[in-house]
Chains A and B, each alone.
With several copies, the nearest count.
Chain A
Amino acid sequence: MNLFLLDAPITSKRQVARGMFVIGLHAPEIANSVRAGQFVNLALSPGPLLRRPFSVYRASADHIEIVLKAVGAGTAQLLALEPGDRASCLGPLGRGFELAAGPQTAVLVSGGLGVAPMPLAARDARAAGMRVTWVHGARTAAELCAETDGETVIWATDDGSQGTAGTAVAAAPDAEVVLGCGPNRMLAALAERWPAAQVALETYMGCGTGVCLGCAVPLKGGGFDRACKEGPVYRAADVDWSALPTHLSYAVTA
């Protein structure tokens, strides 16, 4: 696997939900090799010391896109960038979804910013010959990511303002292949229903490259894995959800 460190120009920026934006970066080497579920590690200088991890949202010939909200200083600074500005981009990182070829049914379950890896996952699942259903949930209609990449999407909102009232996990039909991404709490619920699901989870990260052991994921069988190396995609049943922090405290919010 190759890794690239690029000084990538921002090429586009658009809003896709309340407070949620998609940023395009010119990063040909990464665009060509990234798989669904992998991420990039971005840095700004001046800016916070550590890089910030973001799933690759879409990839074209020369460009990748990421989707983000401002939850703290790093994301706010990224969102203040305009086309022409540059960010240091390291990737692709981590292990993505595994999609064995075959005519299976696949359901993609995403909550909130967990939408991030789904466009690539839908593309790759379809390429592998699967029939894809995408279920996307958020707290309220305004927070649902408006982009569906031509996929039919089953919507779910906590307040019932669009689609099914309730969680994306509850709204999802059964399928042979289940891919999930969203808050760790949602993934824990998903693991209850589909132990064999593949889920992309979130931890704090120091390096993103496997050297710091900061991104420890507690395993059911004991011990810890590295989210940035063996993950961020895990078989849901392999993770000890009770020992994984459910809430990552970014900036201070009530």
Chain B
Amino acid sequence: MSVVIGGMRLRGPVLAASGTFGYGTEVPLLERRALGAMVSKGIFLRAREGTAPPRIAETPSGMLNAIGLQGPGADALISDYAPRWAEWDFPVLVNINGESASEYGELTARLDGIPGVAGFEINISCPNVEQGGLYFGNDPRAAAAVTEAVRKRTKLPVWVKLTPMVSDIGVIARAVESAGADALCAINTFVGMSIDLNAYRPRLSFRTGGLSGPAIRPLAIHLAHQAARAVDIPVIGIGGIMRAEDALEFLVAGCAAVQVGTATFVNPNAIAEVHDGIAAFLDSRGFSSLSSLPRYLPRD
């Protein structure tokens, strides 16, 4: 079940999504054998405290989060985590964030060449920061500028994580493809709000949060499919995958791989179960490999 994503061979198509797997060191129970790759929690160049609690709220088949990209910054990442990643048998990509295109570039330069850092996932889609984040993901020119700034500083794989908060994801997808992205990740969370009827104000201190989980899956499949139709680089599908069948929907819809996020909170073995379930499905349908799975990807 190995797949090649923008020049990088992964041992399987099921990856850990950013922000839902920490730095890969937290959950002892997890079966790592099935992990194709891990994307680290998003970081900025400098350490960030994140937002005040409450940071999460549950919703029907989903959850809102506004963590605010709490993280240790580049230096601590390099000293505390990268050395451990360097010893693992799967690649770790760093989810990078910035308040300007040049800050993204600076962070890339700082991390490029550090053993353990196998590539970059550019986050231009975080709904939970006051500066940057979503803004870059909404505007094709800004998205391309950030991608270029990162691309110039590294030869490692560069993935760009798209926001769903757009009228036409194809426009952004093509813009970042032209700017040198090796792959696209679709999608990040949708902006949502939930009201506390005791306090008569939003449940989250940040007021809004990003919606993840099974609730968004049909929307995510559509957006990943639209992105895949728009570009020639691989698209990694993300959003509400709980079981192998969910991942298979993204794969049939044109994705080359998938990331699993919120499911890990409910089931720390989710990645292994999704991976094994895909293998069992292929087997039961008589497909010898993932590449023989039929795809539904009409080109306009």
Q: CB within 8 A of B203: which of A1, A213, A249, A254?
A: A249
* Binary contact track B194-218/A, C-beta < 8 Å → 1, others 0: 0011110001000000000110000
Contact A2 to B214, CB < 8 A, known contacts A50-B63, A216-B70, A223-B49: no
Q: Does B88 belong to the interface (CB within 8 Å)?
A: no
* A214: B residues at CB distance < 8 A: 55-56, 65, 67
**Bound-state Cα–Cα, A211 to B41, Å:** 9
The reply to whether A2 and B55 form a contact with Cβ atoms under 8 Å apart is no
Kindly provide the distance from the CB of B24 to the nearest chain A CB, expressed in whole angstroms: 9
Kindly provide the distance from the CB of B85 to the nearest chain A CB, expressed in whole angstroms: 16
* Contact segment of B104-112, B156-164, B231-239, B262-270: B262-270
* Contact segment of B25-33, B95-103, B133-141, B177-185: B25-33
Contact A216 to B52, CB < 8 A, known contacts A207-B264, A229-B26: yes
Contact A206 to B65, CB < 8 A, known contacts A49-B214, A211-B26: yes
* A252: B residues at CB distance < 8 A: 197-198, 245, 281
**Bound-state Cα–Cα, A2 to B266, Å:** 17
Kindly provide the distance from the CB of A4 to the nearest chain B CB, expressed in whole angstroms: 8
The reply to whether A51 and B54 form a contact with Cβ atoms under 8 Å apart is no
Kindly provide the distance from the CB of A61 to the nearest chain B CB, expressed in whole angstroms: 23
**What residue in chain A is nearest B284 (Cβ atoms)?**
A254
The reply to whether A210 and B26 form a contact with Cβ atoms under 8 Å apart is yes
The reply to whether B265 and A211 form a contact with Cβ atoms under 8 Å apart is yes
**Bound-state Cα–Cα, A206 to B213, Å:** 12
**What residue in chain A is nearest B24 (Cβ atoms)?**
A211
Best-buried of B50, B56, B61, B264 by chain A (most CB within 10 Å)? B56
* B198: A residues at CB distance < 8 A: 247, 249, 252-253
* Binary contact track A129-156/B, C-beta < 8 Å → 1, others 0: 0000000000000000000000000000
* Binary contact track B11-29/A, C-beta < 8 Å → 1, others 0: 0000000011110001111
Contact A249 to B49, CB < 8 A, known contacts A210-B27, A212-B20: no
Q: CB within 8 A of B54: which of A90, A204, A253?
A: A204
**What residue in chain B is nearest A203 (Cβ atoms)?**
B53
**Bound-state Cα–Cα, A213 to B18, Å:** 12
* A245: B residues at CB distance < 8 A: 53-54
Kindly provide the distance from the CB of A43 to the nearest chain B CB, expressed in whole angstroms: 6
The reply to whether B67 and A213 form a contact with Cβ atoms under 8 Å apart is yes
* A253: B residues at CB distance < 8 A: 198
**Bound-state Cα–Cα, A245 to B266, Å:** 24
Q: Does B62 belong to the interface (CB within 8 Å)?
A: yes
**Bound-state Cα–Cα, A210 to B67, Å:** 13
* A223: B residues at CB distance < 8 A: 49
The reply to whether A218 and B52 form a contact with Cβ atoms under 8 Å apart is yes
Q: Does A243 belong to the interface (CB within 8 Å)?
A: yes
Contact A217 to B266, CB < 8 A, known contacts A50-B63, A211-B27: no
Q: Does B219 belong to the interface (CB within 8 Å)?
A: no
Q: Does A209 belong to the interface (CB within 8 Å)?
A: yes
Q: Does A5 belong to the interface (CB within 8 Å)?
A: yes
Kindly provide the distance from the CB of A6 to the nearest chain B CB, expressed in whole angstroms: 11
Kindly provide the distance from the CB of A83 to the nearest chain B CB, expressed in whole angstroms: 25
A-B pairs with beta carbons under 8 Å apart, 13 shown = A3-B28, A49-B61, A204-B53, A206-B65, A207-B265, A211-B264, A213-B41, A216-B50, A216-B52, A216-B70, A224-B49, A244-B53, A245-B54
Would you list the 7 A-B pairs with minimal beta carbon distance, nearest first? Answer: A207-B265, A214-B56, A211-B22, A210-B26, A216-B53, A249-B196, A3-B29
Additional 13 contacts, C-beta under 8 A, given A244-B53, A252-B198: A3-B28, A50-B266, A204-B53, A209-B26, A212-B19, A212-B67, A216-B52, A216-B70, A218-B53, A224-B49, A229-B26, A247-B198, A254-B284
Interface residues of B (CB under 8 A from A): 19-22, 26-29, 41, 49-58, 61-63, 65, 67, 70, 196-199, 203, 213-214, 245, 262, 264-269, 281, 284-285
